[in-house]
Amino acid sequence: MSKAFIHSTESFGSVDGPGIRFLIFMQGCHMRCRYCHNPDTWRTGQTGDSEQSASVNNLLDRAERYREYWGRDGGITVSGGEALLQIDFLTELFEEAHRRNINTCLDTAAHPFTRSEPFFSKFERLLKSTDIVLLDLKHMDSDRHRWLTGQGNENILDCARYLSDNNISVWIRHVLLPGITDDEGHLLKMRHFIDTLHNVKKVEVLPYHTLGIHKWEALGIPYTLRDVPVPTLEQENRAREILCG
């Protein structure tokens, strides 16, 4: 079995998928989201400060120490960084997890998605052992998406359609940034897109926060959203009414 570059793990995740979950954060991401709270996960080909390269069995053995706490719905969630950048390892991990009867959840921004080979066949295989996908939709306008993340969104929206066509259970997640992703026109456009999908089990509005700024400072990366306030409860409720109502 192969090994992967891991940033970190958490034993008791309660907001990244159903139930209580063992969280695995993969190292490496090609997006450069201006509000990212883990910019230390961006660099590829390395491990996190507290982790070494890990094997499938090593990670799952560690996860199963907490299995009694998972209940009926819990399991493992693999996040990032961007987990799909290490899709071969991810597939091995999820296939072995299913052999151990462990529920699998993929948290992704889907930027690596393409219908070109060799990625597409690998993605199809991965989905056979994926129970649920947490899909980040950051902005519906591709130009604004590129400004916000450094990448366009066309292939991300295509991934959402593909997951719908193949009836893969999805939770949609959207980070709410006042003045950037919270205007009514944008939210309505996102709601209309979500309504075209047939596999969405839940929509989550995630309020923007500034808890990761110290990491940007430690890495010497300029933080460009210092003037953006956290959303008010009224703004959060309005966004949830549009996207989730």
Which pLDDT value is given to residue 176?
Answer: 98
DSSP, res 21: E
Which pLDDT value is given to residue 189?
Answer: 97
Predicted confidence (pLDDT) per residue in 164-206, tens digit:
999 999 999 999 999 999 999 999 999 999 999 999 999 999 9
The full DSSP string for 133-200 is EEEE---SSHHHHHHHHSS-SHHHHHHHHHHHHTT--EEEEEEE-TTTT--HHHHHHHHHHHHT-S-E
Which pLDDT value is given to residue 235?
Answer: 97
Q: What is the mean pLDDT of the chain?
A: 94
Whole-model pTM: value is 0.94
Sequence-ordered list of residues with C-beta below 8 angstroms from that of 14, at least 6 positions apart, any chain: 20, 21
Which pLDDT value is given to residue 46?
Answer: 60
Contact in structure between 102 and 147 (CB atoms under 8 Å):
no
User: Is a pLDDT exceeding 90 seen at residue 49?
Assistant: no
Predicted confidence (pLDDT) per residue in 200-231, tens digit:
999 999 999 998 999 999 999 999 999 999 99
User: Is a pLDDT exceeding 70 seen at residue 51?
Assistant: no
Which pLDDT value is given to residue 45?
Answer: 72
Contact in structure between 219 and 43 (CB atoms under 8 Å):
no
In whole angstroms, give the CA distance from residue 206 to residue 16. 12
User: Is a pLDDT exceeding 80 seen at residue 1?
Assistant: no
Provide the pLDDT confidence category of residue 126 given band limits of 50, 70 and 90: very high
Mean predicted confidence (pLDDT) in 59-76:
96
Contact in structure between 158 and 113 (CB atoms under 8 Å):
yes
